[in-house]
Chain A
């Protein structure tokens, strides 16, 4: 994908007509995962399975999950870009910075896919043992995507190292706060003054379930809304 096209996607300017069927299906899934995650269901994956196969659809889900995780953490602790030139306020400078960054990364990083050779049956059995409950039947599809099974296992294996009460409180708080509609995906509580409070109080957990909260502030206390990026 060239930088001009990527920028159109980033700015939300890409029209359905200029997208491939795969790109349209991915955008629909991503939008629902942000605006109405409480209503996500297996049927939402059917178009992607038809276009990319079971393994491709699972890999999209893994990327989707990984980046929801990354964006929530980045937002919660206010992580800024590694490159000073990628400024938040000046759109033209940000665009230049992102292009430069992508050129550098393309040269220094190996972006080729790598084979993941794992025993999926063993990973799923171990995941089930750690969770202490039978895995939902959908996990069987991971036999088609060893890398997704490895990703899920790698996340699961660390769960016992976390405080069970805190984990339960966060899980319940997030589940209860997941938006079921576009209206509900905005207007969450303000960001807690201390990031770690998000793990202590249910209201603050709720705030982090929706990242489009118009009450968010940057480190200088400035309002952080979509207009900031326009």
Chain B
């Protein structure tokens, strides 16, 4: 419930599969969701710059998701 609320504060009404993968350990799931909020939405770095970091890490890791 709290994870859904955490993601929902940004208008995302779904629980992404990457977050669901932590559901066996609810505390870790919550930590991942809240930590992602801090890293992804907190601070002053422009959104495009954050997305560029994410995109480049995924590209370099050859990660499809």
Q: Could you tell me which A residues sit within 8 Å of B by CB distance?
A: 1, 6, 9-12, 22-23, 26-27, 30-31, 33-35, 52, 55-56, 59-60, 62-75, 77, 79-82, 88, 105, 108-116, 145-148, 150-151, 154-155, 157-158, 161, 211-212, 216, 224-226, 229
Contact = CB atoms under 8 A, between A and B. Distances in A.
B59 A111 contact: no
17 contacts: A26-B56, A59-B44, A59-B45, A62-B43, A63-B39, A63-B40, A64-B57, A70-B65, A74-B65, A79-B18, A82-B14, A110-B10, A116-B42, A148-B38, A154-B35, A158-B31, A211-B63
Nearest to A80: B65
Interface string B25-42: 101100110111111111
Given A6-B55, A63-B50, A161-B27, A113 B44 contact: yes
A148 B45 contact: no
- Which 5 A-B pairs rank lowest in CB-CB distance, beginning with the nearest? A147-B42, A71-B63, A74-B65, A151-B38, A116-B42
Given A1-B48, A30-B53, 20 more contacts: A30-B56, A31-B56, A33-B57, A34-B61, A63-B40, A70-B36, A71-B57, A75-B61, A79-B18, A80-B65, A82-B17, A88-B64, A108-B13, A110-B9, A145-B43, A147-B41, A147-B42, A154-B38, A157-B31, A158-B27
Interface of B: 9-14, 16-18, 21, 25, 27-28, 31-32, 34-45, 47-65
Contacts of B13: 108
Nearest to B45: A59
Q: A-side binding surface: helix, strand, loop or mixed?
A: helix
A90 B64 CA distance: 13
A116 B57 contact: no
A114 B42 contact: yes
Contact of B18 (A65, A73, A148): A73
Contact of B39 (A1, A52, A65): A65
A63 B17 contact: no
Contacts of A116: 38, 42-43
